[in-house]
Amino acid sequence: MAVSPRVFPPRKRWPSTGSSISPKFADLNLVKSLLSLSQEISALKPIQCLLIQKSLSTINKSKLLAIVFEELLRNPVSTSFSPSILLCFEEMYIVFQRIKTLMEDCCSGSKMWLLMRIQPLANSFHELTLELSTLLDIFPVNELDLSQDVEELFVLVRKHCFQSKPSVDPRDDSLRRDVLALLHQIKKEIVPHHLKLKQILDNLGLRDQSSCREEIECLQAEIQNQIDEKSKLDIASLIGLLRYAKCVLFGSSTTQLEPDHRRRNSLSEIAVPADFRCPISLELMRDPVVVASGQTYDRESINQWIESGHNMCPKTGQTLAHTNLVPNRALRNLIAMWCRQQRVPFETVGSIEKVSGVKATKAAFEATKMTVYFLVNKLSVSPSMEAANAVTYELRALAKTDSDSRACIAEAGAIPILVRCLGSGVGSEHPNLQVNAVTTILNLSILEANKTRIMETDGALNGVIDVLRFGATWEAKGNAAATIFSLSGVHTYRKRLGRKTRVIKALMDLAKDGPTNSKRDALVTILNLAGDRETVGRLVEGGVIETVIGVINVLPEEAVTILEAVVKRGGLVAIAEAYNSIKKLGVILREGSDTARESAAASLVTICRKGGLEVVAELAAVPSIERIIWEVMGTGTMRARRKAAVLLRILRRWSAGLDTNDVVDSSVMSVGTLTTMLPA
């Protein structure tokens, strides 16, 4: 599976252990190492646009010293080096390592952040040059049998190092002041002059959409490397400025966007470990947190659950003593490690807020507002569908970034304009525009206040439902389903959506016929709607059990979790409908993931309790069912073990010829007893 290298921005390099510890090489091996290191520095390109003289001077000095080391290797001295020479070589090795690290950091990082740190970085180059000057000054060159030309080169490098000054190029310093002046203007809500913006970006080598986008990604990566809060805030301001400049100077682009808020296309071909999935959304957790019951959820999903008025753990049903969320850093590290191994992007690159918790500065916020109003105004007067698609794409990207952007886009009046792009006519002629529009609404709906705006905007909900039913592409339908999922996070909206037969039928059709990603979007939305008992009845009437049985082999965890929710709240009709799923649940109990086995055991307990002896007999007919249940009791999750214990008791009492009521009552009473029988 190919993944674009841009998904993985270069991490900030820190000096390695070897850059501060003297190498343990002997004589000529040490010279070889110095030669190799000096050649690596010589092969580096000068830093582009900034610190040009400093980096070029450093590279030239390395080239000249490489000639000295080559001479030593061609004509080695007959005896080993003196202790003073070895000591100088070891210290040179450390300085060269630090020079190489500094050069590579400056070349691979953000240009704008490099500009903001121009003075301390110039000082770093100067300090390293002075350290090298000191070593060259005390170096006993007369002890080496160097040719006259090479010895003159050595003296020349020493002289140049000694003449080094800690100055900043006046051009670089002037450019830095210009950027700070623009940020100050934006902070005062003064729109920057476009010509000045263009001049600054030209000087930084940012001359098109692509280079600006890459620079924004570099800045976002820099935030993760910062410890100082002020630095994070400064970078956030630069990102806001650059986003605005990109839109007003280079227009809008329809370049393929990174995967959206809930969609991870790169994960569709990979089996995600069950423990890495959020029990609510069933998606890979990006920010796992532990609630009061001890269960782990993705922060965003559990926040939506709690903000919707729930005070119990979704998985266990236990009332939460408090709503504090504790980061599960150990699990997050494991997920990050797995993602790196699978070449799956782990961080949501676009989200400053989510990744680092950085609050927007005044300058960043005002820059976001300027960008939003520029785009919304441009969308409202777009002369063509192609132009509208390009602007909608930019709004889609911006709506991914943070809450401030989502709030600004909605407040600027974008939702009614986006609704115009959802119709089937637009979808048939411009499917990309329909996808971008519905995905923008999805991203906006992440903000709680925007859920109300969307639900109350004329035509918005109907537009999303129409895309869900008749969308031009599966991506459009899947993102419409994801929007329904997001809106249903509010309890009153969940009930309202659950009453719409069009929504239920469209979700069923998408779950049956769509590709895997779209099926998952539909199933997760169905699961959310199933949180309302009244809606469960409509889901059963709409054929939800038949639907999930049909996809249980493709998405077992999602299907079994829905089945558990439906049979628990759907009454006898749901139990009767679930009769044909018993054998498949037995297979999941044997072969499924821990999460799937847990839901399968819970579903079977509910079906057997309420379905009578005929249902229990159907379960008993599953080959080796008792052995399978014992395996779950020994290796499953704690909840799966409890449910398996109840299930085994039900089967035992059925085989003893007891009637259904006895099975139900005894199974409830025997949970505590059976759990003591669990294998060690």
β-pair type (326-327, 296-298) = unpaired
Handedness of CA 655, 656, 659, 663 (dihedral sign): negative
Segment 170-190 shows an average pLDDT of 91
Is 315 inside a domain boundary? Answer: yes
Segment 532-556 shows an average pLDDT of 89
Burial of residue 390, with CB atoms counted within 10 A of its CB: 0-12 exposed, 13-18 middle, 19 or more buried: buried
Q: What number of residues does the chain have?
A: 680
pLDDT at 304 over 80: no
Distance separating alpha carbons of residues 557 and 56, to the nearest angstrom: 58
pLDDT digits (tens, 9 = 90+) for 183-203: 999 998 898 898 999 999 999
Task: Give the percent of the chain with pLDDT over 70.
Answer: 86
Segment 472-488 shows an average pLDDT of 93
pLDDT digits (tens, 9 = 90+) for 401-457: 888 899 999 999 999 999 999 988 888 889 999 999 999 999 999 888 999 999 999
**Host domain of residue 125:** 27-168
Task: Count the domains in the chain.
Answer: 2
Segment 22-26 shows an average pLDDT of 56
Q: What is the pLDDT of residue 17?
A: 37
CB 506 within 8 Å of CB 465: yes
pLDDT at 678 over 60: no
Domain boundary among 342, 366, 386: 342
Q: What is the pLDDT of residue 663?
A: 46
Is 54 inside a domain boundary? Answer: yes
Q: What is the pLDDT of residue 254?
A: 53
Q: What is the pLDDT of residue 142?
A: 83
Helices within 381-500 (DSSP H only): 385-399, 403-411, 414-419, 424-429, 431-444, 448-456, 460-470, 474-487, 491-498
CATH code: domain of residue 299: 3.30.40.10
Segment 577-588 shows an average pLDDT of 88
CB 432 within 8 Å of CB 399: no
Cα 554 to chain centroid distance, Å, stands at 25
Segment 597-612 shows an average pLDDT of 88
Domain boundary among 310, 342, 374: 342
Q: Reduced to 3 states, what is the DSSP secondary structure of residue 80?
A: coil
Is 175 inside a domain boundary? Answer: no
Handedness of CA 174, 180, 185, 186 (dihedral sign): positive
pLDDT at 155 over 90: no
pLDDT at 481 over 70: yes
CB atoms inside a 10 Å sphere around CB 453: 19
Strand partners, 290: 296, 326
Is 570 inside a domain boundary? Answer: no
Q: What is the pLDDT of residue 3?
A: 33
Q: Reduced to 3 states, what is the DSSP secondary structure of residue 277?
A: strand
529 token code pair: 């709607």
pLDDT digits (tens, 9 = 90+) for 353-405: 443 445 668 888 899 899 999 999 999 988 788 889 999 999 998 998 888 89
Q: What is the pLDDT of residue 164?
A: 80
pLDDT at 352 over 70: no
Handedness of CA 204, 205, 209, 214 (dihedral sign): negative
Distance separating alpha carbons of residues 392 and 253, to the nearest angstrom: 9
Distance separating alpha carbons of residues 252 and 387, to the nearest angstrom: 8
CB 41 within 8 Å of CB 103: yes
List b or e across 168-188, with b for residues whose CB sees 16 or more CB atoms inside 10 angstroms. beeebeebbebbeebbebbbe
pLDDT at 664 over 70: no
Angular region, 14: left φ>0, alpha ψ -120 to 50, beta rest? beta
pLDDT band at 672 (very low <50, low <70, confident <90, very high): very low
Q: What is the pLDDT of residue 349?
A: 32
Is 445 inside a domain boundary? Answer: no
Distance separating alpha carbons of residues 8 and 111, to the nearest angstrom: 18
pTM of the entire predicted model? 0.71
Distance separating alpha carbons of residues 419 and 475, to the nearest angstrom: 17
Angle CA 131–134–138, to nearest 5: 145
Q: Reduced to 3 states, what is the DSSP secondary structure of residue 312?
A: strand
Is 258 inside a domain boundary? Answer: no
Q: Reduced to 3 states, what is the DSSP secondary structure of residue 578?
A: helix
Q: What is the pLDDT of residue 4?
A: 37
Is 326 inside a domain boundary? Answer: yes
pLDDT band at 665 (very low <50, low <70, confident <90, very high): very low
Most confident of 281-285, 340-344, 504-508, 652-656: 504-508
List b or e across 360-379, with b for residues whose CB sees 16 or more CB atoms inside 10 angstroms. bbebbbbbbbbbbbbbbebb
Q: What is the pLDDT of residue 196?
A: 92
Strand partners, 298: 288
Q: What is the pLDDT of residue 532?
A: 84
Distance separating alpha carbons of residues 483 and 154, to the nearest angstrom: 68
Segment 239-261 shows an average pLDDT of 71
Out of 191-200, 204-213, 312-321, which region has the weakest mean confidence (pLDDT)?
312-321
Dihedral of the alpha carbons of 231, 237, 240, 243, in degrees to the nearest 10:
-60
Segment 309-337 shows an average pLDDT of 79
What is the residue type of 452? T
Helix axes 544-551, 501-513, angle to 10 degrees: 20
Helices within 47-167 (DSSP H only): 52-74, 83-108, 111-116, 118-138, 148-162
Segment 614-630 shows an average pLDDT of 89
Helices vs strands, H then E, count in the chain: 36, 3
Residues 6 or more apart in contact with residue 29 via CB below 8 angstroms: none
Domain boundary among 315, 342, 369: 342
pLDDT at 525 over 80: yes
Q: What mean pLDDT is reported for the chain?
A: 82
Q: What is the pLDDT of residue 286?
A: 83
Burial of residue 11, with CB atoms counted within 10 A of its CB: 0-12 exposed, 13-18 middle, 19 or more buried: exposed
CB 90 within 8 Å of CB 22: yes
pLDDT at 611 over 70: yes
**Helix (H) / strand (E) containing 179:** helix 170-187
pLDDT at 463 over 90: yes
Is 432 inside a domain boundary? Answer: no
Q: Which of 419, 412, 421, 407 is nearest to 452 (CA)?
A: 407
Which one is predicted more confidently, 189 or 12? 189
Cα 87 to chain centroid distance, Å, stands at 47
